[in-house]
């Protein structure tokens, strides 16, 4: 009898030790507020008309509302097996986020990955944010927010290049890639490398639908530097038969420096269709300035200029300022204002998801609350 109970005790302790090596976490954020814009449009189409001002509830003032499940298993020797499932939702309507397919939605449209991490860095497979967008966020004082930032400027390039906003398969660069294999190196004296390859899986066409990218980053002594190269085949042609056409290339160089609470940033990017530059060849320039008054309160500002290198009449300038106050570690209140001057065919937006008619200037403002869990 004593032997029996001893065996049960040993098994109980062993099971507890094994369980302690694994973890699963539910996490996310809800971000919403009141939004006003002096002009608006029904779509990103080049023929879209100005519908006048818009006022209402809006999701995603700083970043999207999202939820996810992540987990890790410690397999010893400093190695872990990881998974992550993460998707966007609209807190105002309950709708799920966009997928690669035009008009489609997905429960986990941002990340569905499994991978391994350890002393070598990390390797993840599946749909995911690609290294490019982290590099851009790290070198933008506005942090690639959904309102007036390097993210909305980059989306502006995609809108004028023909992206309809009804899928996540954009013609210049990428925010997410499906079926992606991503390696992230550890830092070495502040320097790290991110590499991506996404096979297309198209029968008889080895380059059909493929994507590849490389990112070099440096982060030390308050200085962030980023260099991005992205290239893709058959981008934004979901309805067509993939042919392996090399039609999406994006370059980016960015820097941000922070000293005693003051942050400054600058960047330069080019997005083009390498198979036919007459269809798409755009330039993006940004600058930013911010100040962290204390651990709870900061103000950030940014300037974002877009130019069509094929037609000098097409250009736009955007200005954005935001203030954020942390009520706690998980809750932030914010106020933001932005102005964009579009010329020619440009339709750069101030905030993600709220179209502006081509050639129309507009002002927008938003106050909101973001809570993480």
Domain ranges of the chain: 24-372
Sequence-separated (6 or more) residues with CB below 8 Å from residue 241: none
Let me know: does 107 contact 87? Beta carbons within 8 Å.
yes
Per-residue pLDDT tens digits for 161-186 = 999 999 999 999 999 999 999 999 99
Task: Report whether pLDDT(4) > 90.
Answer: no
- CA atoms of 286 and 141, how far apart (whole Å): 10
264: nearest Cα among 287, 280, 247: 287
What mean pLDDT is predicted for residues 219-247?
91
* Helix, coil or strand: residue 180: strand
Q: What angle do CA 141, 143, 147 make, to 5 degrees?
A: 105
Is residue 222 over pLDDT 60?
yes
Query: In percent, how much of the chain has pLDDT > 70?
Result: 94
**Is the separation of the CB atoms in 24 and 70 below 8 Å?**
yes
Give the chain's count of helices (H) and strands (E). 3, 19
Q: Residue 10: what pLDDT?
A: 39
Q: Tell me how far apart the alpha carbons of residues 290 and 298 are, in angstroms, rounded to a whole number.
A: 7
Q: pTM for the complete prediction?
A: 0.93
pLDDT range class, residue 242, cuts 50, 70, 90: confident
Distance in angstroms (rounded) separating the CA atoms of residues 215 and 129 = 13
Question: DSSP class of residue 89?
Answer: B
In the chain, what percentage of residues exceed pLDDT 90? 91
pLDDT the model gives residue 238: 59
Whether the per-residue pLDDT at 7 is higher than 50: the answer is: no
For the stretch 92-118, pLDDT in tens is 999 999 999 988 999 999 999 999 999
Q: Quick check: 19 pLDDT over 80?
A: no
The fourth-level CATH superfamily of domain 24-372 is Porin (2.40.160.10)
**pLDDT band with cut points at 50, 70 and 90 for residue 21:** confident
- Side-chain-side CA neighbours of residue 100 (13 Å): 18
- In this prediction, residue 45 carries a pLDDT of 96
Please check whether residue 208 is in contact with residue 234, taking contact to mean a CB–CB distance below 8 angstroms.
yes
Mean pLDDT, the chain, rounded, equals 94
The secondary structure of residue 344, as a DSSP letter, is: T
Tens digit of each residue's pLDDT (9 = 90 or more) over 35-65: 999 999 999 999 999 999 999 999 999 999 9
C-alpha distances in angstroms, 236 versus 109, 173, 204?
A: 17, 11, 20
CA 279 to chain centroid, in Å, comes to: 25
Q: Rounded to whole angstroms, how far apart are CA atoms 214 and 105?
A: 28
pLDDT at 239 over 90: no
């Amino acid at each position: 009898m004593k032997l029996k109970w001893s065996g049960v005790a040993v098994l109980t302790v062993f099971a507890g030790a094994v369980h302690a090596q694994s973890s699963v976490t539910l996490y996310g954020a809800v971000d919403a507020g009141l939004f006003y814009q002096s002009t608006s449009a029904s779509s990103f189409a080049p023929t879209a008309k100005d519908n006048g001002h818009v006022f209402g509830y809006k999701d995603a003032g700083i970043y999207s509302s999202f939820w996810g499940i992540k987990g890790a298993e410690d397999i010893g020797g400093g190695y872990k097996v990881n998974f992550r499932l993460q998707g966007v939702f609209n807190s105002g309507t309950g709708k799920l986020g966009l997928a690669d397919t035009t008009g489609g939605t997905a429960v986990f449209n941002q990340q569905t990955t499994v991978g391994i991490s350890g002393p070598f860095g990390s390797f993840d497979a599946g749909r995911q944010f690609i290294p490019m967008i982290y590099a851009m966020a790290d070198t933008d004082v506005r942090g690639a927010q959904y309102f007036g930032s390097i993210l909305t400027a980059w989306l502006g390039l995609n809108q004028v290049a023909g992206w309809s906003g009804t899928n996540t398969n954009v013609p210049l660069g990428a925010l997410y890639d499906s079926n992606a294999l991503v390696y992230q190196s550890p830092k070495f004296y502040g320097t790290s490398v991110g590499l991506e390859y996404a096979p297309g899986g198209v029968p008889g066409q080895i380059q059909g639908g493929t994507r590849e990218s490389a990112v070099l980053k440096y982060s030390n002594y308050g200085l962030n530097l980023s260099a991005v190269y992205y290239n893709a085949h058959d981008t934004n042609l979901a309805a067509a038969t993939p042919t392996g056409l090399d039609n999406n290339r994006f370059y980016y160089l960015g820097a941000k420096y922070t000293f005693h609470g003051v942050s400054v940033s600058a960047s330069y990017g080019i997005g083009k269709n390498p198979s036919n530059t007459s269809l798409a060849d755009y330039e993006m320039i940004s600058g930013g300035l911010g100040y962290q008054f204390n651990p709870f309160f900061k103000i950030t500002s940014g300037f974002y200029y877009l130019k069509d290198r094929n037609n000098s009449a097409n250009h736009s300038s955007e200005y954005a300022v935001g203030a954020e106050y942390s009520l706690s570690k998980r809750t932030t209140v914010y106020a933001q204002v932005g102005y964009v001057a579009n010329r020619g065919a440009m339709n750069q937006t101030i905030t993600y998801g709220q179209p502006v008619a081509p050639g129309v200037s507009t002002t927008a403002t938003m106050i909101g609350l973001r809570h993480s869990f």
